[in-house]
Amino acid sequence: MFINMSEINIVDAPPGIEGSGFFATSLDKVIGLARSNSLWPLPFATSCCGIEFMATMGSHYDLGRFGAERLSFSPRQADVLMVMGTIAKKMAPVLKQVYIQMAEPRWVMAVGACASSGGIFDTYSVLQGIDEVIPVDVYVPGCPPRPEAILDGFQRIQDLVKNESGRRRNSDYYKELLGQYGIK
């Protein structure tokens, strides 16, 4: 398969001041651009959504195209916590501990109906959404969601990362949000 070079589009530069031999923009935008294209996800998969995530990492969908080639199985090295599947209430403290161990800045993606709302398991033993124990940035719908939906959710995380101010994590609003979950 040959690529026609006339079909390739060159992306415009981010907003800034351009001149001959230089480009100026804000430090927040440069850091956001770098962070958004080098995220290290931590998959927290407990059931069928984890299988769809494995398909997402395969060569057909290839999450690595979006800068997430390296999965991190250590919370201290991860940027994005991807919670996939049913979370039992006994597992909630473990999930919260994993979130707390992640370094700032950190983002959370609830993948599938079970992680988002408990799914079809409206029982005493199943957590009715992980947002009861940790803050969630992006929800991916589906039971289980297709790999395209997981990729779309990951791109929404990238948009958040790219446009987030470096000072947001030190704001009173963010500290109050974590305080609502009992996280210091």
First to last CA, the chain: 53
* pLDDT average, residue stretch 42-60: 88
CB-based contact 119:143 (threshold 8 Å)? yes
Q: Check residue 41 and give its pLDDT.
A: 92
Q: Check residue 70 and give its pLDDT.
A: 82
Report pLDDT digits (tens) over 111-141: 999 999 998 888 999 999 999 999 999 999 9
Report pLDDT digits (tens) over 138-179: 999 999 899 999 999 999 999 999 988 777 778 888 889 999
Report pLDDT digits (tens) over 64-94: 888 777 888 899 999 999 999 999 999 999 9
Q: Check residue 129 and give its pLDDT.
A: 92
Q: Check residue 159 and give its pLDDT.
A: 92
Q: Check residue 34 and give its pLDDT.
A: 86
Tally DSSP H helices, then E strands, for the chain: 6, 6
Neighbours of 130 (CB within 10 A): 28
Does 1 have pLDDT greater than 60? Answer: no
Cα distances from 20 to residues 10, 14, 16, 23, 24, in angstroms, run 19, 16, 13, 8, 11
Q: Check residue 3 and give its pLDDT.
A: 62
